[in-house]
A and B are shown apart, each in its own frame.
Chain A
Amino acid sequence: DGGITQSPKYLFRKEGQNVTLSCEQNLNHDAMYWYRQDPGQGLRLIYYSQIVNDFQKGDIAEGYSVSREKKESFPLTVTSAQKNPTAFYLCASSMMDRTGNNEQFFGPGTRLTVL
């Protein structure tokens, strides 16, 4: 099956700890994204990557870090510097072609709770 997988589905973290959320896709998409969703809010972009070994900050990158060593993988690390990390995190991917602005496909999400 082609798609995007995120793990774990639920994650609990103690304050002051870093934690890494996994995102893998087998759609052969070039671009990958991380969003954060808070209750009653839309999705806000944390980081995105259009090509391996390159990524850009989104609107709320502070306290987060990413890497893109492989086309299929785009892990997100929530660091202890992130002041309010409890949220639902969604990973997405899309094709990149000359027409641009292709639809993004989303994973099932990871719900992070800081205890």
Chain B
Amino acid sequence: AQKVTQAQTEISVVEKEDVTLDCVYETRDTTYYLFWYKQPPSGELVFLIRRNSFDEQNEISGRYSWNFQKSTSSFNFTITASQVVDSAVYFCAHSQGGSEKLVFGKGMKLTVNP
């Protein structure tokens, strides 16, 4: 069965600090997809990234970067030079290849203080 673990439940940092959000997944599939979503206080989830299991290249988008390592079943998310607007709950999720069903981790609440 699929499982996504976000071991950190809550992190608090000061603005401009770098922060890494951990995500570990369990799957028996060879084809699968991993996602990160951001949930700001308004409640709506915002899609950040999708990565398939055959693409282990790291990705950078502005201050955001993602490190996918199949050897450790991890898909970690780093925010560089954090800002107050980054304060949100972040979810990692997994889906099997060919399935539209997402399995979410429990989320990690990030608070960035000025």
Contacts and interface: CB of A to CB of B under 8 A. Distances in A.
Do they bind each other?
yes
Interface of A: 31, 33, 40-45, 48, 50, 58, 88, 90, 92, 94, 96, 100-109, 111
B97 A100 contact: yes
Given A43-B45, A107-B44, 18 more contacts: A31-B100, A41-B106, A42-B91, A42-B104, A42-B105, A42-B107, A90-B45, A100-B100, A101-B33, A101-B52, A101-B98, A101-B99, A101-B100, A103-B35, A103-B47, A104-B102, A106-B37, A106-B46
A103 B50 contact: yes
Contacts of B28: none
Interface residues of B, number: 25
B101 A58 contact: yes
Interface in B1-53: 4, 9, 33, 35, 37, 42-47, 50, 52
Contact of A108 (B44, B52, B107): B44
Contacts of A42: 4, 91, 104-107
Nearest to B92: A42
A45 B50 contact: no
Contacts of B4: 42
B101 A48 contact: yes
